Chain A
Amino acid sequence: MTSFSWKTALGTALAGAALVASSPALAEQPIKIGGIYLMSGSAATYGEFAKQGATLAIDEVNADGGVLGRQLELKLEDGQGKVAVAIQAARKLVYQDKVDLLMGIDSSGVAEGLVPVVPELGKPFMITHAATPAATGRLCNKYTFRDGTYVAQQMAGAAAVAADTDAAKWTTIGPDYAFGHQTWEYFSKYLKERNPDVQIMDDAAAFPKFGAEDFTPFISSVMAAKPDGVMISLWGGDLVNFVRQASKLGFFEQGFTNIYAVGAATEVLTALGEQMPEGQWLATRYWYDAWDTPMNKKFVADYKAAWGHPPSYNAEQAYMAIYAFKAAIEKAGSVDADKVIAALKGLTIPAPFGDMHFRAGDNQALIGPTIGLSGPMHESDGIRTLVQIRNFDGADVTPPVDPDCKM
């Protein structure tokens, strides 16, 4: 303190003033959004669709002047479908790339590993794909939001469809990790509630490992059990393999009622083309052809113009994550994590399917699934259409906030 001098003080003040004066330049720094998706391996096509959806939204927002006058910038990392890799990616995005917001995650297993780490990172986190109830249930925290349907919402719709068929005996074939088992658990529970007389054939339930490639033994065992209905929760390349192998074994000529938990993923329908049989109940979180709203028409048209194919549900959910962040930042007037979280809580924003509301109790968006029968091929999109479409209302299919969710 002995060396204190007015000169130094003046110098410091000047330097401070210079910093303040330069803050407009600082304000033009982009707002960074970190995305963690499956960018390699079998399901890389899901990550690519998410990237396309997020990129489209960011380009639209930036062309419109950005958010609070700042441009948006997307930083993508490959989560590889592994918990450790995804956590490392999230840390890199936050500490090294200095992102303001986090989004992504395709796999339920990865989500269950990453969600508990998010409070340590201290950034708002939007799950756009992973469907495990735990993420907005027992593992919930104030940073984690989800703008896609999760297993409970999805299965409430599927059970409603199943209850309207005359299938009395149900079994399942699904991947042997969180998603496959949770899908079956919720489907059985909701179907029993609607129709106590149905028989849930747990003994015949088949859970091949994720990425098994050869599903023939499991298909044979399900066929041998002679159910009336089958809940199929395989997804990605597994679903492509299943449909092709099942078709060879005559699975689709047994008169089963088949419901696919996430069957109407355009990623899979594009790969299968006509090989996806007609008359299968395909569920999805979002179907591009199910909504007549002006926002949906514009979204689908712009998406097709940008990428040459219709948007998948994963693309739509990534697209909406950007708009949810935008709305929250504008409402908060800042990108400060706590302020954005407060703004996101209980927020309602327009989405292609109507209003999307984030429930305050668990940060879960109230969205219902779309379920339809696979119909004739779409003339220009090269995939099956959905007919007899049923759009479920999010408020009707979402169970109350999990009592284990404590923020």
Chain B
Amino acid sequence: MNSFLLALLNSLDIGLLLFIIAVGLNIVFGVLGVINFAHGALYMLGAYLAYAGIVGLGLPFWVTLLLAPLVVALLAVAIDRGMLHFIYGREIADSLLLTFALLLILNESIRLIWGNGIHTVEPPWPLQGTIAMPGGLRYPSYSAFVLLVGLLTLLGLWLLFSRTRLGKIMRAAAQDPEMAQTLCINTRRVITATFAFGAWLAALGGVVAAPMRAIDPGMGDKIIIESFIVVVIGGLGSFPGALAGALVLGLIHGLGGRYLPQLDLILPFVGMALVLLVRPHGLMGARRV
């Protein structure tokens, strides 16, 4: 029973970290209509910036948690104005190609700067230890912190979209950009801000992941595949869908890995296939053309 509780907590950990990353992908798609292949690379950049800040510059983890996502968001503004800006309104294939090129550029730039080696970052004070659980089991305090960040992100996003003017503007720009423009909303600025916000979320995920995961040149590619599975399960462009998809995938990895380790490789795809059969637009996906 206690070990089940631990497996459940672990599933939530995996799920909420995935949520932070995949929700950025989904928001960007919802507002811009762009499936951002480079989202995983932005996550990886966040992790590498954390490594550079903590190990290279000796900054505290908490400072990099604040700074690295901001740096990535600024880069995203440049990417939007310099690249993506030109393909809005075009076919989805164009944006796939462009963001795929961006992925290659980011991946190789990261390899040029930081090399091929595998790097690690230590969890910050006071999160190095473990929390004692009933039955002599232990739960890493840093994992508890990841849960907290995931829940705060969830709460923050919900407040943003339902309670703030900015959130309403983003939703308006997503639903009908022409109408929004007629209502004197600067849609171009909203679009840039949304893309930067999506990148900020990816990089936040990267910094949060850095003390738990090996920082290597392949981490972005791994997470983008997981994020796509989340999006397929949950529904493309849907904010609650990203949460549902991430939690389902977290449970598949966490509980499946613990109790059905032989099936870990196929379970995510079985889950994806089932959802596609029953609800082709994902658990929470709206019907789109």
Given contacts A216-B10, A249-B138, is CB(A244)–CB(B3) below 8 Å?
no
B140 touches A (CB below 8 Å): yes
Q: How far is the CA of A47 from the CA of B117 in the complex (A)?
A: 10
Residues B222 and A176 in contact, CB atoms below 8 Å apart: no
B130 touches A (CB below 8 Å): yes
Residues B117 and A270 in contact, CB atoms below 8 Å apart: yes
A124 touches B (CB below 8 Å): no
A93 touches B (CB below 8 Å): no
A304 touches B (CB below 8 Å): no
Residues B217 and A218 in contact, CB atoms below 8 Å apart: no
A212 touches B (CB below 8 Å): yes
Min CB–CB distance B67 → chain A (angstroms):
24
- Tell which of B10, B13, B107, B118 touches A271, judged by Cβ atoms closer than 8 Å: B118
Q: How far is the CA of A271 from the CA of B130 in the complex (A)?
A: 23
Q: How far is the CA of A245 from the CA of B140 in the complex (A)?
A: 9
Q: How far is the CA of A270 from the CA of B214 in the complex (A)?
A: 12
Residues A224 and B118 in contact, CB atoms below 8 Å apart: no
Residues A220 and B258 in contact, CB atoms below 8 Å apart: yes
Residues B118 and A267 in contact, CB atoms below 8 Å apart: yes
B253 touches A (CB below 8 Å): yes
Residues B213 and A45 in contact, CB atoms below 8 Å apart: no
Question: Cβ of B221: which chain A residues have Cβ within 8 Å of it?
Answer: 41
Min CB–CB distance B202 → chain A (angstroms):
16
Residues B120 and A272 in contact, CB atoms below 8 Å apart: yes
- Say which one of B170-178, B185-193, B261-269, B270-278 lies at the interface with A: B261-269
Interface residues of B in 237-286 (CB under 8 A from A): 253-259, 261-262, 264-265
A401 touches B (CB below 8 Å): no
- Name the residue in A207, A248, A249 with the highest tally of chain B Cβ atoms < 10 Å from its Cβ: A248
Interface size class of A (residues with CB under 8 A): 35 or more
A42 touches B (CB below 8 Å): yes
Min CB–CB distance A209 → chain B (angstroms):
5
Q: List 26 A-B contacts (CB under 8 A).
A: A40-B218, A41-B217, A41-B218, A42-B219, A44-B111, A47-B116, A48-B116, A212-B264, A213-B222, A214-B212, A217-B10, A217-B254, A217-B257, A220-B6, A221-B258, A221-B259, A221-B261, A238-B214, A240-B120, A241-B213, A244-B120, A244-B214, A245-B212, A248-B138, A249-B130, A271-B117
Nearest first, the 7 A-B pairs at minimum CB distance are A42-B218, A217-B257, A41-B218, A271-B118, A44-B116, A217-B258, A237-B214
Interface residues, chain B, with chain A CB atoms under 8 Å away: 3, 6-7, 10, 13-14, 107, 111, 115-120, 130, 138, 140, 142-143, 212-214, 216-219, 221-222, 253-259, 261-262, 264-265
Interface residues, chain A, with chain B CB atoms under 8 Å away: 40-45, 47-48, 176, 205-209, 211-214, 216-218, 220-221, 224, 236-238, 240-241, 244-245, 248-250, 267-268, 270-273, 275
